[in-house]
Structure 1
Amino acid sequence: MIRTSAQLQDDLRRANLNLEPYGGRGMSNAVSKKTNWCLASVAVGALLCGGVSAQAQEYLHAEEEIGTVEQIYDGHLTPDLAVSTFRNIDRLFPVRTISGSDNPKALPEALQDLEARVKLETEDATYDLYDFLALDNVASMIVLKGGEVVYESYQRGNTPDTRWMSMSVAKSITSTLVGIAIKDGKIGSVDDMVVDYVPSLAGSAYDGVSIQDVLLMASGVQWNETYTDPESDRRDLLRAQIAQEPGAAMAVMAALPRAGEPGSVHNYSTGETQVLGEVVYGAVGGSIADYLSEKIWLPYGMEADANWWLDSPDGVEIGGSGFSATLRDYARFGQFFLDGGVIDGTSILPDGWTEDAGLPHDLSDGTTIEYGLMWWPGWTKDSIADKAYAAIGIEGQNVYINPTKDVVIVTHMAQPKPLGKEPIDPMAFFDAVVAAVE
């Protein structure tokens, strides 16, 4: 029996125990929609429910102490606790599993001595690779050149089997699924209306908003993304997720007022990606994690299971965050995108989608925004020249793609706060890595 979050919290109050939802990993196939919850008692040190797979129990980091999701967004995690939490986010909410392939795509190694060659010079200082790893608190990093691993590093106890949180890197995955659904004919085009796929938003400020408007975070719907502000819209959406009640997230989005005409104002909003996830959910008739598994994870050959947070038990995936996977599988996703979304010789994305996704776009009044289809165009001189772009998540998560130099870089960091306080600008450092790779 799956119990709701409210029921579990009632159990907690009655028993005076510590509640920890544990997302099950042992799904039998890519289309399973089962979610396991466990009530864990720290006081007695025992699991009080069944259904946890052998795979979950064997996960290297499964017994580590973790913080809460509120501590992540408040920026109230100590360094060690941040690391252990970021690699165990499937213990914060119920998840759906995206199964790894039995025939993973090879990542040949052609290792290069980047420690000796990478150098970033700024007006104030010169940084090498060791500085970047230490100052930006990098827990894992991989560099691909031409699909081959030229550098790979694991710190803070991470290993190639460690799953790490994506934060807003998940947005770029969700937007990619929109492209695939268009190619599949499940979505007509980016000009389709959101409410055609999410009828619960009919009559709200999202009525009259196109999928393209949402992809550009230009719906015109009012939104405050301030992570550390308990009164922000972002935290309202998080509270809806914590409640684990079906439809709660869309209720938050439906209640928002309009701030401008659709397509006229760009405002970064995780809520937009939750709406986009609901669009995919409505278009494909079910789980977007299953759709990701069917279209990319299995056929492209990802080697490990991934997890994705749900808005409620057996519910809809959190489109803008809550995806966790291994470093190498994030790198494979970057390579998939760099190669034009091609699997077995055929692109599963619309023509030009990967080129368009990472470029600046224009609003309805002609204003250019430095944002793509939920990807960030490069902002440094070299990255702009190379038309590089990245999927970026708070606290240091990056999937960087340089189509000109055929390079993919992935970083997993444990920054202390969701405020962009990295001492070294990752995009500038990625320029230095690209320049050093032969």
Structure 2
Amino acid sequence: MGGILAALALHAASSAHAGGGGSYAHATETIGTGQQLYDGLLTPDLTVNTLRNVDRLFPTRAVAASARPAAFRIARKQLGQIRFAVGDRTYDLTDFLAVDRVSGMIVLKDGEVAYETYQLGNTPGTRWTSMSIAKSVTSTLIGVAVKEGLIESLDEPATKYVPRLKGSAYDGVSIRDVLMMSSGAKWNEAYTDPGSDRRDLLKAQESQQRDAAMDVMAKLPRAVEPGTKFNYSTGETQVAGEILHGAIKGPLADYLSEKIWKPYGMEVEARWWLDSPGGLEIAGSGLSATLRDFARFGQFYLDGGVVEGRSILPDGWLQEASTAKILKGGAPLDYGYMWWIATSAPARADRAFMARGIFGQFVYIDPKERVVIAVTSAASKPQNLQLIPPQVFFDAVADALK
């Protein structure tokens, strides 16, 4: 379903499926386990069911939505049946949806809906896991805390806010190092390796003990000096969540609701995994929201974090957080503050960047073309093995909407 008529129809239907105040349409579906999901062993149907019901895997905290959701306008120019090349083969929009098992996609141009579709049984009210898109949300909330003076500087030591890590590999690590995934702590992110650090973190989450995740992080050895090497680590984001919690003295979900979800007009209550009953949010994963609200988050970021007429992010944060960095020693880093830098030449010229999560979740932002693309998918494996590279598709969308 796509185009202006579909978008209008879906907008009218969304309140009936929202799942915030009433029953959730997918609540009785059969789902797999967290271990099966990360092992990549679920059948396609079970993968879909599980990704839209991850709040049944672990306790969650609600991210309250707005009482007056911000309505989307429909863009005058709609996205048509675009075509693009990958190697010597040509694909189109329909191919991307089918081959990459897209469960939903919305494209905003200048904040207006240029395309919207729902697949695999999803509706506008379906909550879908963000996976590592949550990392970009967490880093943004750290920016809000800096603006409010709750965090004085990104150059402060992480241990100031997480005393539990004193005497560990995180001694001498700055908040900025954590946001750039360059703490120097040794880490193996292999999702399907039962012996990896990432799976140790999942086991800590499964234990539902408040300090279990930081126990994992406190035992890590130091591999290199802080700030000198990038090493992608979901555990690093859990440290970021503890830093934020230590600064705001409250739940991350409540802070997200108070600062962004309610005032920016998100329409459906989101859910965020907890490390224990009533405990801390899993800052690097487990935030489930609707496709439209993911798109609104992208638009919020594109617009410089402006809520109710004022920016809630520090001056220059958008540019600083979403651009490539240089590590200590001069090594280049195609990563911002838990945002990925776009990889193609046209996208780099547009200063495009993205939040992305395993199984094919994206919030893609092109500042020059004023385009936001939110995609949810149900890839068969967690390693982002999309057969059609999403960056090529995103480039084609931005080009078509010029």
RMSD: 1.1
Q: Report deviation, 1:423.
A: 0.5
* 1:254 matched residue in structure 2: 218
With the length of structure 1 as denominator, give the TM-score of the two structures: 0.86
AA in 1 matched with 2:367: P
**Residues 1:263 and 2:227 aligned together:** yes
Q: Report percent identity of matched pairs.
A: 59
AA in 2 matched with 1:58: S
Q: Report deviation, 1:111.
A: 5.9
* 1:71 matched residue in structure 2: 36
Q: Report deviation, 1:395.
A: 0.7
- Counterpart CA distance in 2 for 1:422 and 1:122 is 12
Structure number with larger C-alpha Rg:
1
AA in 2 matched with 1:120: F
**Residues 1:136 and 2:111 aligned together:** no
Equivalent residue in structure 2 for 1:276, among 215, 240, 247:
240
- Counterpart CA distance in 1 for 2:221 and 2:20 is 45
Equivalent residue in structure 2 for 1:210, among 151, 159, 174:
174
- Counterpart CA distance in 1 for 2:76 and 2:243 is 41
1:347-386 alignment, distance < 5 Å: 347-386=311-350
Q: Report deviation, 1:115.
A: 3.7
Equivalent residue in structure 2 for 1:342, among 272, 291, 306:
306
Tell me which of the two structures has the higher relative contact order, counting C-alpha pairs closer than 8 angstroms and 6 or more residues apart: 2
**Residues 1:59 and 2:24 aligned together:** yes
Q: Report deviation, 1:420.
A: 2.0
Q: Please state whether the residue corresponding to 1:173 is helix, strand or coil.
A: helix
- Counterpart CA distance in 2 for 1:264 and 1:377 is 19
* 1:85 matched residue in structure 2: 50
- Counterpart CA distance in 2 for 1:330 and 1:122 is 27
* 2:145 matched residue in structure 1: 181
Q: What 5-or-longer segments of structure 1 have no aligned partner? A: 1-53
Q: Report deviation, 1:114.
A: 2.7
Equivalent residue in structure 2 for 1:239, among 178, 193, 203:
203
With the length of structure 2 as denominator, give the TM-score of the two structures: 0.94
**Residues 1:167 and 2:131 aligned together:** yes
**Residues 1:320 and 2:287 aligned together:** no
Q: Give the paired residue count.
A: 384
Equivalent residue in structure 1 for 2:388, among 424, 427, 430:
424
- Counterpart CA distance in 2 for 1:149 and 1:165 is 22
Query: Does the 8 Å contact 1:111/1:151 carry over to 2?
Result: no
AA in 1 matched with 2:246: G
Query: Does the 8 Å contact 1:115/1:130 carry over to 2?
Result: no
AA in 2 matched with 1:336: F
Equivalent residue in structure 1 for 2:158, among 194, 209, 233:
194
- Counterpart CA distance in 2 for 1:297 and 1:86 is 21
Q: Report deviation, 1:77.
A: 1.1
* 1:109 matched residue in structure 2: 74
Q: Note the alpha carbon deviations across 1:362-401, whole angstroms, 9 max, x for none.
A: 1010111111100000001111111100000011000000
Q: Note the alpha carbon deviations across 1:335-356, whole angstroms, 9 max, x for none.
A: 0000000112211001111112
Q: Note the alpha carbon deviations across 1:168-198, whole angstroms, 9 max, x for none.
A: 0000000001100000000001001100000
* 2:352 matched residue in structure 1: 388
Q: Note the alpha carbon deviations across 1:27-70, whole angstroms, 9 max, x for none.
A: xxxxxxxxxxxxxxxxxxxxxxxxxxx95771000000111111
* 2:4 matched residue in structure 1: none
Q: Report deviation, 1:437.
A: 1.5
Equivalent residue in structure 1 for 2:184, among 220, 229, 235:
220
